[in-house]
Amino acid sequence: MKRFWLLFSQAVTVLVAAYFVVATLQPDWLRRGATRSGAGIALLEAPAPAGAPAPAPGSYSAAARKAAPAVVSINTSKAVRHPRSNDPWFQFFFGDQGAQAQAGLGSGVIISPEGYILTNNHVVEGADEIEVTLTDSRRARARVIGTDPDTDLAILKIELDKLPVIVLGNSDQLAVGDHVLAIGNPFGVGQTVTSGIVSALGRSQLGINTFENFIQTDAAINPGNSGGALVDVYGNLQGINTAIYSRSGGSMGIGFAIPVSTAKMVLDGIVRDGQVTRGWIGVEPNELSPELAETFGVKASEGVIITGVLQDGPAAQAGMRPGDVIVQVAGKPVRNVSELLTAVAALRPGQKAPFTVQRGDGTVELQVSPGVRPSPQRAARR
C-alpha cells in the first residue's frame, strides 16, 4: 500500500511540474481554440465542425438558400424623347436632342423550368429591352408574355437551361405574425434578403391597383425590390413584392406584396388565353352603413349592400335584388366592396358560384353564373 501511494505522489508531482512548465513557456497550448494570426497575434477561434454546420437557432439561412437562386434582377431600358423635340423653334435653339436612354431596375421570380418569370407590370411597362440576371451571373434577354395592370403583374420568359425554380406556397394559409423574408435587388446593390413578419392580410383601398388584396409586411422593401419574392420560413413563395409606404423613398416598415394565389390566376390566364378573364355579375355595391341598412330594411351587421342590379345581368338572372347584402361568395366571407370585387373577379365566367345573401331578416343562397368582366372603359358596374 505504501508503495502505491509513493507511485501516485510521484506521478502527481510530475504532472504538476509539466503543467507549470507548459504554462510558463507555451501558455497558448492551454487555451482551447487558441491560434496566432499572420502577425503573431494570439486569437481564439471556434473549432471546425466535424460535418456540415447546423444553422444557428432562429436562422432562416435554409429558406434563403432554397429561394434566393430563383430570384433574378431585371434591368430595363427605353428610349425617351423630349416632349418638344419635334418643335422647329425648340430644334433651332437646342438642336436635335435625339432619344435618351432611360434605365429601370427591378426584380423577378422564376416560377417554371420553362423560363416563366413573375414580376411587376410597373417594372417592365414601356420597356424597349429587358435583361434578366441570375444569381449565377448568367444573363438573358426576356420577352413579355403578357401584363395585367389591374393587379400590377407581368409575365416574362427567358430561354436558358437548368433554371432554378421557386416552390409556390399557399398564401391563403398565411397568418398575421408569420415570419417572412423579402428577396430582391434593392437600389441595384445586389441580391439582398431581409426578414420580418406578416403585419396584416387583405389590405385594400390603398389606391395602388384595381384589385387589391395585399399582404402587408415589415420586412425591408426598397426601390429595386419590386417584383421580388416574399417567402415563408420554408423558402416557399407567398407573394410578389410590389409597393411600399414611404415618406423618404426608402423602407419605413410598411411594404405590400401580391399574394401568390392572385399571381397564379394571372399567370394561367395570360399563358392560356393571352389575357386575364375575370368574373362580373352586374351589380352596384356599396359599403354597408346603418343608414343604408335602414333605408332597405335589412338587419345585417357586415357584408356589402347592393343598391342597384343591372337588368338581365348575371345577378338579376339569379334573383338578386337591390337591398340584398352579400356576406359570402363561393364560401368566402366578404366584408367590404374591395373584397367583393376581388372575389367576383376570381370566379370563372359561365360557372355557377354560390352567393350567400342576407335579405330582410333571413338568409338566401343564390347560384350566380358570372359573365366576363367588361374592360375598364366599358365597365360601369362591378
179 is catalytic: no
Which residue(s) pair with 124 in the sheet? none
Q: Which three cell numbers mark 138?
A: 448568367
Q: Among the options 107, 122, 218, 324, which is catalytic?
A: 122
Q: Is 248 a catalytic residue?
A: no
Q: Which of 73, 107, 148, 152 is catalytic?
A: 152
Q: What is the CA radius of gyration of the chain?
A: 31
- Integer Cα distance of 263 and 244 in angstroms: 18
Query: Looking at this protein, which amino acid is placed at residue 166?
Result: I
| CB-neighbour burial class of residue 16 (10 A; exposed 0-12, middle 13-18, buried 19+) | exposed
Q: How are beta strands 236-244 and 167-168 bridged, if at all?
A: parallel
Dihedral in degrees, nearest 10, Cα atoms 327, 329, 333, 336:
-70
What are the CA-CA distances from residue 105 to residues 65, 119, 182, 231 (Å)?
Answer: 23, 11, 16, 21
Burial 246-265 (b: 16+ CB within 10 A, else e): eeeeebeebbbbbbbbbbeb
122 annotated active-site: yes
**For every residue of 43-67, which 3-state class applies, written as one string?**
EECCCCCCCCCCCCCCCCHHHHHHH
Catalytic residue chosen out of the listed positions 226, 232, 324, 338: 226
Burial of 269 (0-12, 13-18, 19+ CB in 10 A): middle
- For the annotated catalytic residues, the residue numbers are 122, 152, 226
